[in-house]
Amino acid sequence: MLDTWTNGPAKSAIVDFVGRVTTEGPDYVEPDARVAVFDNDGTLWCEKPMYVQLDFLIRRFREQAETDPALRDTQPYKAAWTGDLAWLGGAVAKHYQGDDSDFAPLTAAILAAHQEISVDEHAAAIAEFFEAARHPTLGRPYTECGYSPMVDLLRYLEGHGFTCYIVSGGGRDFMRPISGPMYGIPPERVVGSTVSLVYRDANVYTTADLQFVDDGPGKPVRLWDRIGRRPVFAAGNSNGDIEMLEFTASSARPSLQLLILHDDAEREFDYTSGAETALQRAANDGWIVASIKNDWKTVFGA
């Protein structure tokens, strides 16, 4: 039972909550309402020094800059061409602090990166990436950068009648190929940001038109659109997860909100940038904060 978690307040709060909602009594929640939602980046797997999907996209930006030298003086192609990971990671961090000056051109480049290809071609490119790519500082395959205690938590919840979903700001179609092997979550239970798709010639194709950004206030909207139930358990790690945690906390049923604190520089990373407001909300509203350093016996497993 949550063997990868250290005995302490976070583990006790989870076990107590699950016990209460699965036992007949005033806090009992019927099985079909036991919906749990999890952010992905920084919650289920490593997000530093940059998002995994950003590494995938950087490789595409480099290809585009190789073909068109004029792009090499324009961000984010310049950062990709020169290997400036600080600019790329900073663009995302600034976004979560309310500054989209660098995030806007990054988003535009992302939308243009893989347009007008079939969803099968896109999936093949993602599979090729995961087959070869390694984390730049941890030196392990990205598919081995999932957090063992969070996978343990997924299995624990499922063992008590919960249905678990991934609800992430990352690309839905980027996560789907690995959500099963890494987390045991089937693709139909992955909710994420999407581009519009079109059908022609017996194929579905991507476009450069943004359909939905599954982040911040968009998360409750998107999860309701896809799931149709208010969760009773939600886990995140950043300011972009606040609204999803709020939405869960406002359930008429008992609920639990979990925030992952990255404070272990030795085994993972130590940072709070982009999570300052979420941590303050956790302190004010009684959300559970799980310290990687103190609450997890292991981070990535063997």
271 CA to centre of own chain: 17
Cα 129 to chain centroid, rounded = 18
CA count, 13 A, side-chain hemisphere, 176 = 17
**Would residue 86 count as lying in a domain?**
yes
For 83, the domain range is: 52-113
> Which amino acid type is present at position 12?
S
Give the whole-angstrom CA distance, residue 112 versus residue 128: 20
- Assess whether 78 and 207 both reside in one domain: no
Sheet holding 35-38, edge to edge: 203-212, 190-200, 163-171, 35-38, 233-236, 256-261, 288-291
The single residue listed with the structure tokens 């799931």 is 227
Which is it for the CA torsion 56, 131, 42, 40, positive or negative? positive
Same domain for 65 and 38:
no
Three-state secondary structure readout of the chain: CCCCECCCHHHHHHHHHHHHHCCCCCCCCCHHHCEEEECCECCCECCCCCCHHHHHHHHHHHHHHHHCHHHHHCCCHHHHHHCCHHHHHHHHHHHHCCCCCCHHHHHHHHHHHCCCCEHHHHHHHHHHHHHHCECCCCCCEHHHCECHHHHHHHHHHHCCCCEEEEEEEEEHHHHHHHHHHHHCCCHHHEEEEEEEEEEECCEEEEEEEEEECCCCCHHHHHHHHHHCCCCCEEEECCHHHHHHHHHHHCCCCCCEEEEEECECCCCCCECCCCCHHHHHHHHHHCCEEEEHHHHECCCCCC
Mean of pLDDT values over 143-150: 98
CA distance 162 to 211: 29
How wide is the angle at C-alpha 285 spanned by C-alphas 281 and 289, nearest 5°? 70
Cβ(295)–Cβ(8) below 8 Å: yes
Instruction: Report the CATH number at residue 233.
Output: 3.40.50.1000
Is residue 302 pLDDT above 80, yes or no?
Answer: no
pLDDT band of residue 93 (cuts 50, 70, 90) is confident
**Which of 95, 113, 131 is the last residue before a domain boundary?**
113
Same domain, 240 and 195: yes
Whether the per-residue pLDDT at 86 is higher than 90: the answer is no
| CA angle (31, 291, 251) in 5-degree steps | 30
Same domain, 91 and 147: no
Domain closes at, from 61, 91, 113: 113
In a domain, 300, yes or no: no
What are 26-77's pLDDT values in tens digits?
A: 999 999 999 999 999 999 999 998 899 989 998 989 999 999 999 999 999 9
Q: In terms of pLDDT, which residue wins out, 114 or 140?
A: 140
Q: Are 240 and 93 members of one domain?
A: no
Q: What's the confidence (pLDDT) of residue 116?
A: 85
Residue 96 reports pLDDT greater than 80: no
242 and 170 inside one domain: yes
Which of 131, 113, 229 has its CA nearest to residue 171?
113
137 domain-assigned: no
Mean pLDDT on 77-81: 92
Looking at the fold, whether 229 and 99 belong to one and the same domain comes out as no
Beta bridge partners of 111: none
Q: Please, what is the average pLDDT of the chain?
A: 94
Residue 148: count of CB within 10 angstroms of its CB = 17
- Per the structure, how many domains does the chain have? 2
pTM of the model: 0.93
pLDDT of residue 92: 76
Q: Are residues 187 and 93 in the same domain?
A: no
* Longest CA–CA separation in the chain, Å: 67
The answer to whether residue 129 sits within a structural domain is no
Q: Are 90 and 205 part of one and the same domain? A: no
pLDDT at 203: 96
Same domain, yes or no, for 284 and 207? yes
Task: Please tell me the distance from the alpha carbon of residue 41 to that of residue 50, in angstroms, as a whole number.
Answer: 10
Q: Tell me, yes or no, whether 66 and 37 share the same domain.
A: no
HSE (CB half, 13 Å, CA atoms) of 267?
A: 18
Statement to judge: residues 36 and 174 lie in one domain: yes
What does the pLDDT read at residue 111?
Answer: 85
